[in-house]
Amino acid sequence: MERPTPFDDLDWTPERAHAFGARVLDLWTRYLEALPDLPVGRQQTGAQVRSHVLRPVPDEPLDDDEILANLEAIALERSTQTGHGRFMAYITGAGTVPGAPASLLAAGLNQNLGGGLLSPAATEIETHVLAWFAERFGLPAGSSGAFVPGGATANFMALTAARDALAGWDVRRQGVAAGPPLTVYASEDVHDTIDRAADLLGLGSDAVRRVPVDARLRMRPDALVEAIAADRAAGLRPICVVGTAGTTEFGAIDPLADLAEVAAAHGCWFHVDAAYGGPAAMVADLAPRFAGIERADSITCDPHKWMNQPISSSLVLFRDPARQHAAFTLETDYTRFDDEASAEMLLRYQWTPQFSRPFDALPVWVSLLAHGWRAFARRIAHDVELAAWLHHLVVEHPELEPTVTPELAIVAFRYIPGDLADRPEAADYLDTLNDRLVFTLQKGGRVFPSNAAYEGRYVVRACVMSYRTEAGDVEALVDEVVRVGAELDGRVRPVELAGV
Ligand SMILES: *Cc1c(COP(=O)(O)O)cnc(C)c1O
């Protein structure tokens, strides 16, 4: 047979790699320059986006100019500008500046964090960064964890470990049907990924008992005790209490110390979903609001939220490493090492539901090296101040109605045209108006809030967490809500509510 000749089409010389990379880097720099003046969102249909950025997958290479033109259309013309200071929606961060080149390097090195053999430095960095977070939360030295694709996965892993540790039988082998139904307790305002985790784990989403909240939207410990007692009496097996440290809709912080107490008294796992609020719990001035987080068996924290890390940067921590390992370990023949080698090597594929894993810890590591933690801590405290300022503006404004006082940096309110303030029959119309107002603002391009429901009514919701947001931006939000709200009201108000 003939000896195969070289085929190097898929490799680029370092010079070629640099030429291409430099142009991408240049585009990113132009994006940073243009960002303040780019529309935050825009009026466009899926079809318009498709016709603008898609092209047939080619069989032959395009030249760099064409590729760059495509990347430019994606970056500058058809993306929602989540990095803009007036983007305030859905707890989505801006991405740190040093995190972006770090992501490039992480992809370039392509370390596989499934096992230390394939990623020695990366595995040590991941372990080091996890330990730093764990210490900040007050977990004991030696606790474990992993970077995961998001808070949804972190919550899923925490509930998996809780289930396996506390069901009382070998659930991993025998399944959930081998014992009594297992139940989980969380606030009415818990993130819905907890329900989905219960569903994926075979518990069923009904197993998540939604415990009533108080006037500040925090889970009521007395109601929690009652719910656990009722389920016990009915022959069910309570296994886990989920406290939320910063609810997604309004930023409420459950009374974590009380919940830890109840969980301990009833032999339950205590999970804290700090996907949103976690970084604030690490800031000295804000930490007292999170007292009790240090008693968690597991914690979810998303640095891609309030630390603005590039997506995804999310982690789950476990107080007891043995329980994390027990929930996810598996053995494959082709990854077996002798005892000496295994002792040296951390095999993280045995610690998560993933197998191959990316180097998500690098952007957060580089961001911390480049900025230092103190800049993040000060920025988070600044966001809390900006949110308080926005709430104050809302309270002062005659046509804006506040909801709860913000605990962290989420502010929610309604636009109510002056002449409809005292007309109960306008309630449904005000829902429609506020709902449409949010989407109109998003497409208008000047500000980008999102929505929420408060006491069954539509509200405008702003999450202050971009390091590019300042007082002028939250003031612009107020102005735009009132201006666009009045315009919209003039167009869509039904005749029976006509002004008097
Ligand atoms: C955002 C959020 C989640 C989901 O996290 P992802 O990173 O989006 O998967 C879970 N819980 C809370 C409290 C959140 O705010």
Q: How far is the CA of 197 from the centre of ligand 1 (A)?
A: 12
Q: How far is the CA of 12 from the centre of ligand 1 (A)?
A: 39
Ligand 1 pocket, Cβ-based, cut-off 6 angstroms: 91, 150-152, 155, 191, 193, 244, 248, 273, 275-276, 302, 314
> CA-CA distances (angstroms) from residue 441 to 38, 96, 304, 466?
15, 25, 25, 18
User: Is the pLDDT score of 500 beyond 70?
Assistant: no
pLDDT, tens digit (0-9, with 9 covering 90-100), for 433-492: 999 999 999 999 999 999 999 999 999 999 999 999 999 999 999 999 999 999 999 999
Q: Residue 357 has which token pair?
A: 């894993």
Mutate which of 90, 187, 191, 360 for ligand 1 pocket (most atoms within 8 A of beta carbon): 191
335: confidence class by pLDDT, cuts 50, 70, 90: low
> CA-CA distances (angstroms) from residue 25 to 19, 83, 107?
10, 17, 15
- Give one word for 219, left, alpha or beta, with left for phi > 0 and alpha for psi -120 to 50: beta
Q: Helix, strand, or coil here: 335?
A: helix
Closest C-alpha to ligand 1, atom 12: 275
What is the model's pLDDT at position 132?
Answer: 98
What is the model's pLDDT at position 338?
Answer: 66
Indicate the residue type of 361.
Answer: A
DSSP secondary structure of 370-421? HH-HHHHHHHHHHHHHHHHHHHHHHHH-TTEEE-SPPSSSEEEEEE--GGGT
| Average of per-residue pLDDT across 18-29 | 98
Q: How far is the CA of 274 from the centre of ligand 1 (A)?
A: 8
Mutate which of 157, 302, 305, 450 for ligand 1 pocket (most atoms within 8 A of beta carbon): 302
**What DSSP character marks residue 425?**
G
pLDDT, tens digit (0-9, with 9 covering 90-100), for 99-112: 999 999 999 999 99
How high does pLDDT run on average in the chain? 96
Q: Point out the ligand 1 atom lying closest to the alpha carbon of residue 314.
A: 7
Q: How far is the CA of 156 from the centre of ligand 1 (A)?
A: 11
User: Is the pLDDT score of 191 beyond 90?
Assistant: yes
416: confidence class by pLDDT, cuts 50, 70, 90: very high
What is the model's pLDDT at position 181?
Answer: 98
Residues facing 9 on adjacent strands: none
User: Is the pLDDT score of 242 beyond 70?
Assistant: yes
Angle at 198 between CA 197 and CA 202, to 5 degrees: 115
305: confidence class by pLDDT, cuts 50, 70, 90: very high
User: Is the pLDDT score of 171 beyond 60?
Assistant: yes
> CA-CA distances (angstroms) from residue 387 to 156, 349, 394, 408?
31, 41, 11, 8
User: Is the pLDDT score of 336 beyond 70?
Assistant: no
* Dihedral pair phi/psi, residue 319, rounded to 5°: -65, -40
> CA-CA distances (angstroms) from residue 145 to 111, 122, 123, 198, 379?
19, 15, 12, 20, 26
Q: Point out the ligand 1 atom lying closest to the alpha carbon of residue 246.
A: 13
Q: Residue 76 has which token pair?
A: 């500058």
Q: Point out the ligand 1 atom lying closest to the alpha carbon of residue 304.
A: 7
Longest CA span, the chain:
93
Q: How far is the CA of 247 from the centre of ligand 1 (A)?
A: 9
User: Is the pLDDT score of 341 beyond 70?
Assistant: no
Strand order of the β-sheet with 269-274 is 144-148, 314-318, 298-301, 269-274, 237-244, 182-187, 208-211
Q: How far is the CA of 189 from the centre of ligand 1 (A)?
A: 12
Q: Are 52 and 73 in contact (CB under 8 A)?
A: yes
Q: 182-187 and 237-244 as β-strands: parallel, antiparallel, unpaired?
A: parallel
Residue 14, number of CB atoms within 10 A of its CB: 8
pLDDT, tens digit (0-9, with 9 covering 90-100), for 1-21: 999 999 989 999 999 999 999
What is the model's pLDDT at position 346?
Answer: 84
pLDDT, tens digit (0-9, with 9 covering 90-100), for 350-401: 999 999 999 999 999 999 999 999 999 999 999 999 999 999 999 999 999 9
| Rounded (10°) CA dihedral 447, 370, 127, 277 | -30
Q: Helix, strand, or coil here: 45?
A: coil
The pTM for the full model equals: 0.97
Q: Residue 75 has which token pair?
A: 């970056």
Q: Point out the ligand 1 atom lying closest to the alpha carbon of residue 274.
A: 13
Closest C-alpha to ligand 1, atom 6: 151
Q: How far is the CA of 151 from the centre of ligand 1 (A)?
A: 4
Q: How far is the CA of 37 from the centre of ligand 1 (A)?
A: 30
Q: Point out the ligand 1 atom lying closest to the alpha carbon of residue 193.
A: 10
Lowest mean pLDDT: which of 6-15, 45-54, 154-163, 334-343? 334-343
What is the model's pLDDT at position 301?
Answer: 98
What is the model's pLDDT at position 485?
Answer: 98
What is the model's pLDDT at position 498?
Answer: 85
Closest C-alpha to ligand 1, atom 3: 151
